[in-house]
Every structure is written in C-alpha cells, then in structure tokens.
C-alpha cells in the first residue's frame, strides 16, 4: 500500500510540475508578444527605430474656408446676443447654481468669449 501511495504522489507531482512548466512557458511567450506589440505601438522599440515609424499627417480639404475671428460684426453679434430663455433657465436652477452660472457668463463677456 505504501509503495503504490508513493508512486501515486510521484505521478501527481510529475504531472502538476509539467502543467506548471508549460503554463509558465506559455505565459512568458504571450507576455513577450504582447510587450513587442505595445513597444511597436508606442514607438520605443529599439529594433524598429524612429525612421520606420510613420507619422500621421493631417490634410485639410481645399474647400475649407478659414474663418476670421477679427471680424468686428461677427464678434459684436456673438457677444451682444443674450440667451432668449436665460431668465427662465436661471429660475429653474438652485440659488448656488444661479450665482455660479451668472459668474461664468460675466467672465465670458469680460474675456471676449474666446
């Protein structure tokens, strides 16, 4: 009985050791592949170098019209246009929100609504 029990323990030890070894190798391989992928995406991998990583360039259409913010008429129109339902919206808010909102609006008007 003792001999078969010892043989059973040895078999369990050998199988579990093999499973642990295979799991460690698999984990190391997957982690290595994952780290290579991350390094490539970040662009810090030494084997890829800075020259091989393509930089993305933004191109605008020729149809894009550049708006000038120096246009006085537009800025006056934008600054002087009050909210139509501002009083109604303020009354629905709690008192502390009303004070905060009025401060924000006042600050925007002072700074010129950048």
pLDDT digits (tens, 9 = 90+) for 18-70: 999 999 998 888 888 888 888 777 765 455 555 555 677 877 777 766 655 55
Structure tokens at 83: 């909210």
Give the integer Cα–Cα distance in Å for 110 and 97.
20
pLDDT digits (tens, 9 = 90+) for 62-110: 776 665 555 556 555 555 555 555 666 677 778 888 888 888 888 888 7
Structure tokens at 34: 């994952």
* Residue owning tokens 């070894």: 21
| Residues 76, 109 contacting (CB under 8 angstroms) | no
Structure tokens at 99: 């004070």
Cα-Cα-Cα-Cα torsion 60, 62, 67, 68, nearest 10 degrees, comes to 100
What's the distance, CA 13 to chain centroid?
46
- Regarding pTM above 0.75, the answer is no
Q: How many other C-beta atoms are found inside a 10 Å radius of the C-beta of residue 82?
A: 10
């Amino acid at each position: 009985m003792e001999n078969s029990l010892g043989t059973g323990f040895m078999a369990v030890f050998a199988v579990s050791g093999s499973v642990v070894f295979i799991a460690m190798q698999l984990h190391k391989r997957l982690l290595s592949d994952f780290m290579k992928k991350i390094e490539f995406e970040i662009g810090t991998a030494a084997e890829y170098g800075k020259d091989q990583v393509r930089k993305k360039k933004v191109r605008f259409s020729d149809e894009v019209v550049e708006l000038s913010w120096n246009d006085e008429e537009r800025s006056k129109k934008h600054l002087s246009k009050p909210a139509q339902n501002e009083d109604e919206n303020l009354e629905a808010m709690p008192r502390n929100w009303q004070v905060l909102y009025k401060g924000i609006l006042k600050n925007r008007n002072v700074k010129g609504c950048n």
